[in-house]
Structure 1
């Protein structure tokens, strides 16, 4: 363990928790709802957006990507700003930006306006996320943090599963604008809760902000994330390769700069702490697998089993239920069994859920889908709070905002990589498994193949395409099993329980 941070950590352990810490957690969860719901609620509104603006697939992809790129690119900078200028203050600014951008998105007259508004929403979300975790670190004593993170994870899971349901209901009852306007009253409630309950806290206020480092890191992360999220749609074309190469160069320059400046934006020395680096890497590896599961299964449920958008959202409820149940135990188990045992056990249970999903066929019952998702969610709920507690417990309290931002960035990069890499694997294996009679223009996805077979009236070829997709899905999910087990191995080999 890094001896330079041990005295600070010991002082933190002696400090009692805030007397209103559980009420503060409720207010922070309201802010968390906004960020998580907005990651999923828009997917079911994309067809309505396409019709309203006569938008192409590339336009709709831009609506999704602008949020992800701004969010992931600014997380670390937002964490540093929270430490420097106050976590409560930055959280309130983030809520205002998010609410105003949501209202502007609902009033969008064109697709370009909507892309810009979504990018502004990503900026607001980036300001909100690390501040919530940093405040939790500040108001909860170390012995209760795993329980607080468990509640935080459970709320995120419910929001993730509820996003498609809410989005489908709003689009059906109102229009696509409803998925943005619903954010405004939630922002108002969260704002009042934060103002009334959340105390202000700071990190090292004497640290100067490295503006050159901010620009290098934000641009570098944004370029890398943009390249990653575009791989499934564009492949390794010049734009993707150029964006990825530019991002890597900017990040390399940023890493070199951190060794020369007095107040680096990111303390790379944190990665020398086995607890921080082991838990961070394990979580990032796991999110590579979990980040693509709903992306894959949404196609299976709609195009293979024939469910509608709202029914697909209902089918994802067991995942959230599993996280809630797992979080109930995952918030208490670390004090009895230790963080490492909880993380390893949770990842193994998650791998078991992926294994169940890997056995799905073209006529599998929804109960099998629910069982696999429930197991995956249970494992995530068991291991997630301990992993978050391990990461943030290794960070000095005065850098809690930056540490929370690093934790969020690891997860966002893992999710983006999961969708890109496993999504590309799904497309590649699907094309190989398709009958040779399918023309090139109909081989890019199951949806494209089914459009071709519908026009041709070839039911037998449609059945073969669904079988090919299920085979490709099985390959992806067995890969996810291996990735989850790899995360468990990393945690087992690198984590050590902190000394009392």
Structure 2
């Protein structure tokens, strides 16, 4: 019996959907290259909006607001993770109901107050509140950018599309983390680093309003092709059914959801504790900025290769191996000391994450039917970005009780265990391009 939603479309990327006065809807990267690359640029700005915090905010917690306990200092990541996870869930449902572009615009509007709150916030509560808004914005913008690229390219190039999407986003994170490290060194922790984020938000909102076009009709065209092909089984699921299928019932979808959660659990650890670990070892802000950028830079660039490779060779083993590579890198960071070993381990951590990140999204797109794919992506991203909240709590408590190296090592063990779950539970033949 075929797993839910794995009905393969008929060959070819041209899926006509004719209405009076309209031209056929065509799927494929080449056929939609201009809009696709515009959405890549938009997602780079989304990543940059997040990257404004990666180097500076952990140091702002300790140096400006004098938060001594790691658990308290990481509350901004907890707030970010919870709000982003929730918005990921709603982004899919809202984009199915109202269209993709309005949701993308709403996400940018939610980000507008964030730089001002980070610059002028007089207490740590303001920083936490800013991260609630940032999470809302990231959930709506990043999820919708993912969904729109899946809409445009069709089933044959999902891994490649997700590689481009995630590469753009995390290279945006990396470049901005590096830039804000140097801005903080030259001009202080506030306001200069966050002015860069304000510029990103203005540019992203302007591009979205003026140039981005709706893509929902591409998903409807692909769904129509399913109906012409092997039937419409599993096409009419409710949102509750999509949630249960993605979270628990379907082996591949649920394996991807737990791996996404653990992946962002260790990313939350890296975001919140790595700069504090490096500063405690005597590294200056410039070196901390390089280390904070190296991990997402390797992650971002390598996804251009790993996403496309998973189209050819399948998703399962890329994901399982990538989780194990991340676990090894975390073990090195926990046990090493000094800029050189930490830089090498950060690059390895980024490479392992690159094997996992676009491949998980492509795996969701493979299994989910076009009529509920946006909602399934939202559910997956709910679990995945819930990992930020879990990571902030777990790593903060462990760091307070046993120190940062122990917290990093414990998260490394969890990451390895997640890779084993993928190897055991995920089906190996769900990708459509093999």
Deviations 1:194-235 (A, max 9, x none): 345432134899xxxxxxxxxxxxxxxxxxxxxxxxxxxxxx
Matched, 1:483 2:410: no
CA gap 1:56/1:350 in 2 versus in 1, 3 angstroms: closer
Instruction: Give the drift of 1:109.
Output: 6.9
Superposition RMSD on alpha carbons, in Å?
3.5
Contact 2:48/2:175, CA 8 A, preserved across alignment: no
Instruction: Give the drift of 1:97.
Output: 2.6
Equivalent positions of 1:74-223 (< 5 A) are: 74-103=87-116, 106=119, 116-171=129-184, 172-173=186-187, 176-202=190-216
Deviations 1:237-260 (A, max 9, x none): xxxxxxxxxxxxxxxxxxxxxxxx
CA distance in 2, matches of 1:157, 1:495: 26
Tell me the TM-score normalised to structure 1 length. 0.69
Q: How many residues align?
A: 396
CA distance in 2, matches of 1:299, 1:196: 41
2:42 equivalent in structure 1: 28
Q: Structure with the greater relative contact order (CA < 8 A, sep ≥ 6): 1 or 2?
A: 2
Contact 2:49/2:200, CA 8 A, preserved across alignment: no
Matched, 1:414 2:346: no
Instruction: Give the drift of 1:382.
Output: 1.9
CA distance in 2, matches of 1:285, 1:114: 25
1:229 equivalent in structure 2: none
CA gap 1:286/1:74 in 2 versus in 1, 3 angstroms: closer
Contact 1:50/1:60, CA 8 A, preserved across alignment: no
CA distance in 2, matches of 1:425, 1:174: 30
- Where does structure 1 lack aligned partners over 5 or more consecutive residues? 206-260, 431-471
CA gap 1:131/1:262 in 2 versus in 1, 3 angstroms: closer
Deviations 1:23-43 (A, max 9, x none): 233233234224432452551
Q: More displaced, 391-400 or 90-99? A: 391-400
Contact 2:82/2:386, CA 8 A, preserved across alignment: no
CA distance in 2, matches of 1:55, 1:428: 16
CA gap 1:476/1:59 in 2 versus in 1, 3 angstroms: closer
CA gap 1:49/1:429 in 2 versus in 1, 3 angstroms: closer
2:251 equivalent in structure 1: 274
CA distance in 2, matches of 1:398, 1:376: 35
Pick one of 314, 318, 325 that aligns with 1:349. 325
CA distance in 1, matches of 2:292, 2:129: 30
Contact 2:49/2:173, CA 8 A, preserved across alignment: no
1:446 equivalent in structure 2: none
Contact 2:74/2:392, CA 8 A, preserved across alignment: no
What's the secondary structure of 1:397's corresponding residue?
A: coil
Q: More displaced, 70-79 or 195-204? A: 195-204
CA distance in 1, matches of 2:297, 2:63: 30
Pick one of 382, 397, 412 that aligns with 2:355. 382
Contact 1:80/1:265, CA 8 A, preserved across alignment: no
Higher Cα Rg, which structure: 1
- Where does structure 2 lack aligned partners over 5 or more consecutive residues? 16-26, 221-236
Tell me the TM-score normalised to structure 2 length. 0.78
Contact 1:327/1:385, CA 8 A, preserved across alignment: yes
What's the secondary structure of 1:490's corresponding residue?
A: helix
CA distance in 1, matches of 2:296, 2:422: 24
Deviations 1:56-95 (A, max 9, x none): 9899766665544433333312331122111111101221
